[in-house]
Amino acid sequence: MSGALKAAWALTVFVIVVGIVGWALSGQAVFAVFIVLGVLTGAAAAFAFRTTPSSSEELK
């Protein structure tokens, strides 16, 4: 796993945790935005850093 992918997953977890803690402590549903942004960050990281097939697999 590359450093950039590790950083993206760390950011994802951090944003989701901040959203959950903020929502739990304040009771304001606006912190759900953090949870959604965290999930979107994770999806973008999975999409952007997915592995690509090697050139030998493309020739088959």
Helix residue ranges per DSSP H, 1-60: 3-26, 32-48, 55-58
Total-model pTM: 0.72
| CA contacts within 13 A on the Cβ side of 22 | 14
* Tokens of residue 49, six digits: 């850093």
**Mean pLDDT calculated for residue range 17-28:** 93
**Mean pLDDT calculated for residue range 24-53:** 86
Q: Do residues 11 and 44 lie in contact, with contact meaning Cβ atoms separated by under 8 Å?
A: no
Give 52's pLDDT tier (boundaries 50, 70, 90): low
**Mean pLDDT calculated for residue range 41-50:** 82
